[in-house]
C-alpha cells in the first residue's frame, strides 16, 4: 500500500528590511485671530497678552503684523483654564458655606429655615429666605463689616484674586463683564473692598494694564510717565503745560489765544503759511514791528493802503509811479540824475505841454549845445524886459515886430534892406 501523498506547499521565505520611515511631524497651523481666542477663553486681550508672557500660550505674527494663534493649543488651554476656574469656584463655595454654617448654626431648638445650595455660582447670591435665621446672619455680617471698617481700615490690601463670569467679547478682543483685576494694591479704607461706602484716605497703585469701560472720576490725577489718549479729551478748566508741546494734526482755538508774557524773552516761531486774513483786535491801535524790532523785507502783491508814509532811507521804484494828489518834497528832485543840486534837476529832454511859469526868479536853460525851440510854427514869442542875445537870433517868419520900445541893431552890414514903419 502506497503511503498517502502529502501536498506540501513550498513556503517562500520573505525577508523584510528594517523600515527607516519616520512619520511626519504634524505642522502647527496658526490661523486663529485674537478676538476668536478671547471668545474661546472668555478673557480680554490684555489677559491673553499676559498669558503669552507667562508662556501659557504661544502666538505668531502674520504678514500684517497681527498676532495669530493655534486652534488646538487654544482649546487645550481653554480646557485647563475651565478646570482651574471650576476648582477655584468650588473651593470658594466650600469656604463660603463653611463661614455661613459657622455663623448661623446656633445651639438652640430653633428650626433651620435656610438650606444653602450644594454648589453656587460665583458672585450670585441665593434667593432670600425670610426668617429668624436670615436676620441673625445679616446682623452678624453687619458686625463683621463694622469691625473691619474701624480696626482694619488703615491697613493696605492687595487684591490678587480674579473671579470672572461670562463676559461680552467684542471683535477687537475687548471684553465687558464683571471681572476683578489682579495685582492691585490699595492703601485706602478697606471698607471699599467689602462694599461699605467710605471716603478714600490713600492712593491706588496699578502695576499692570487697567482697562476701564466706564467713567473714572478722580479729584486729582498725577501721571509720572507718558499718557496715550486715543479719543477726545475734554478739559473744563485750564491746561498747564510746563514742557514742550507737539501737535501732529490741526489745532482749533475758538476763543482768545495768548502766547508769551514777556516781549523781550518770549519768541513765537511760525514755520508755516497763513491761509486767512490777519486782523488786529482794534483798528488803528497796534503796530507791526517797532523802531527797535524791524521786519527786514515786506512783499505785497496787491494794493497797500497807508494813511501816512514816512521813508527813512532812499527808495527805488522800478515801475511807474502815480501820485493821485499833491506830492510835497522837502529836498531836491532829480530826473535823469541821482544827485540833484537844485529843486528840480533834469538831465535829458524836457517837454511842457502847457505854460511854464516862474513866479519869481529866472528860468535858465544852461549848457544847451543844440537848438532851442520855444513855441511852434504859428506861435508868438513875447519877450518882456531887457533881453540879451549873445549869439545869432534867427527869425523864421517874415516880420520881427517890436512894440512899445526901441530896436537896437548893431553890426557892420545889412544883408537885406530893412523896412521900418
SS (H, E, C) 185-201: EECCCHHHCCCCCCCCC
* C-alpha distance from residue 190 to each of 202, 210, 355 (Å): 11, 20, 108
Calculate the CA dihedral of residues 132, 137, 143, 145 and round it to 10 degrees.
-140
Quote the pLDDT of residue 128.
46
Quote the pLDDT of residue 389.
65
CA 156 to chain centre: 41
Cα–Cα distance measured from residue 322 to residue 336, given in angstroms and rounded to the nearest whole number: 18
What number of H helices and E strands is found in the chain?
A: 4, 10
- 234 touches 212 (CB < 8 A): no
Quote the pLDDT of residue 208.
61
DSSP element (H, E) containing 106: none
Q: DSSP per residue over 224-278, as a string?
A: SS-----S----SS-----S----SS-----S-----S-TTT------S---S--
- 126 touches 120 (CB < 8 A): yes
Question: Among candidates 392, 353, 347, 390, which has minimal Cα distance to 367?
Answer: 347
Cα–Cα distance measured from residue 127 to residue 129, given in angstroms and rounded to the nearest whole number: 6
In the three-class reduction of DSSP (H, G, I as helix; E, B as strand; rest coil), residue 111 is classed as coil
Quote the pLDDT of residue 278.
86
Enter the pTM of the model. 0.35
Question: Among candidates 14, 77, 87, which has minimal Cα distance to 51?
Answer: 77
Cα–Cα distance measured from residue 419 to residue 417, given in angstroms and rounded to the nearest whole number: 7
DSSP element (H, E) containing 3: none
Burial class (CB in 10 A: 0-12, 13-18, 19+), 78: middle
Question: Among candidates 385, 395, 330, 378, which has minimal Cα distance to 362?
Answer: 385
Quote the pLDDT of residue 410.
65
Q: In DSSP terms, which residues pair with 169 in a beta bridge? A: 175
* 225 phi-psi bin (left φ>0, alpha ψ -120 to 50, beta other): beta
Quote the pLDDT of residue 132.
63
* C-alpha distance from residue 297 to each of 294, 310, 311, 407 (Å): 9, 16, 14, 66
C-alpha cell at 111: 428650626
Calculate the CA dihedral of residues 377, 383, 387, 389 and round it to 10 degrees.
0
DSSP element (H, E) containing 203: none
∠ CA 51-55-58, rounded to 5°:
80
∠ CA 38-43-48, rounded to 5°:
75
Quote the pLDDT of residue 179.
44
**Positive or negative, the Cα torsion across 49, 54, 60, 65?**
positive
Quote the pLDDT of residue 120.
43
Mean pLDDT, 10 residues at a time, the chain of 421 residues: 50 51 60 85 85 87 84 87 80 74 50 44 46 70 68 46 48 51 42 41 58 72 79 80 80 78 76 84 86 86 84 82 82 87 83 73 65 61 63 64 62 63 61
Burial class (CB in 10 A: 0-12, 13-18, 19+), 48: buried
Amino acid at each position: 500500500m502506497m503511503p498517502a501523498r502529502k501536498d506540501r506547499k513550498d513556503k517562500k521565505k520573505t525577508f523584510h528590511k528594517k523600515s527607516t520611515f519616520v512619520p511626519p511631524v504634524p505642522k502647527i497651523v496658526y490661523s486663529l485671530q485674537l478676538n476668536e481666542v478671547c471668545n474661546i477663553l472668555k478673557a480680554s486681550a490684555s489677559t491673553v497678552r499676559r498669558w503669552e508672557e507667562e508662556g501659557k500660550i504661544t502666538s505668531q505674527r502674520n504678514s500684517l503684523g497681527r498676532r495669530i494663534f493655534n486652534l488646538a493649543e487654544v482649546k487645550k488651554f481653554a480646557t485647563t483654564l475651565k478646570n482651574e476656574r471650576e476648582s477655584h469656584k468650588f473651593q470658594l463655595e466650600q469656604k463660603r458655606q463653611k463661614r455661613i454654617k459657622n455663623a448661623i448654626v446656633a445651639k438652640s431648638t430653633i428650626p433651620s429655615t435656610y438650606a444653602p445650595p450644594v454648589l453656587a455660582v460665583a458672585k450670585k447670591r441665593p434667593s432670600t429666605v425670610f426668617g429668624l435665621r436670615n436676620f441673625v446672619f445679616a446682623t452678624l455680617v453687619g458686625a463683621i463689616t463694622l469691625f473691619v471698617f474701624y480696626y482694619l481700615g488703615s491697613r493696605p490690601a492687595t487684591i490678587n484674586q480674579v473671579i470672572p463670569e461670562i463676559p461680552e467679547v467684542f471683535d477687537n478682543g475687548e471684553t465687558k463683564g464683571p471681572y476683578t483685576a489682579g495685582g492691585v494694591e490699595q492703601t485706602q479704607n478697606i471698607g471699599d473692598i467689602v462694599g461699605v461706602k467710605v471716603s478714600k484716605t490713600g492712593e491706588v497703585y496699578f502695576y499692570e494694564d487697567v482697562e476701564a469701560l466706564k467713567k473714572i472720576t478722580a479729584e486729582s490725577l498725577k501721571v509720572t510717565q507718558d499718557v496715550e489718549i486715543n479719543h477726545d479729551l475734554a478739559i473744563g478748566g485750564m491746561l498747564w503745560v510746563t514742557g514742550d508741546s507737539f501737535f501732529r494734526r490741526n489745532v482749533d482755538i475758538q476763543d482768545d489765544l495768548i502766547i508769551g508774557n514777556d516781549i523781550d524773552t518770549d519768541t513765537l516761531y511760525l514755520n508755516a503759511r497763513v491761509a486767512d486774513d490777519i486782523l488786529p483786535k482794534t483798528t488803528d491801535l497796534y503796530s507791526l514791528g517797532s523802531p527797535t524790532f524791524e521786519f527786514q523785507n515786506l512783499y505785497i502783491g496787491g494794493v497797500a493802503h497807508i494813511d501816512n508814509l514816512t521813508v527813512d532811507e532812499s527808495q527805488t521804484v522800478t515801475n511807474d509811479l502815480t501820485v493821485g494828489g499833491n506830492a510835497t518834497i522837502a529836498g531836491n528832485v532829480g530826473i535823469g540824475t541821482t544827485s540833484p543840486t537844485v529843486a528840480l534837476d533834469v538831465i535829458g529832454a524836457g517837454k511842457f505841454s502847457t505854460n511854464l511859469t516862474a513866479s519869481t526868479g529866472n528860468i535858465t536853460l544852461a549848457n544847451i549845445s543844440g537848438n532851442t525851440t520855444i513855441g511852434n510854427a504859428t506861435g508868438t514869442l513875447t519877450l518882456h524886459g531887457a533881453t540879451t542875445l549873445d549869439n545869432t537870433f534867427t527869425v523864421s517868419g517874415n516880420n520881427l515886430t517890436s512894440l512899445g520900445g526901441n530896436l537896437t541893431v548893431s553890426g557892420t552890414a545889412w544883408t537885406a534892406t530893412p523896412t521900418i514903419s
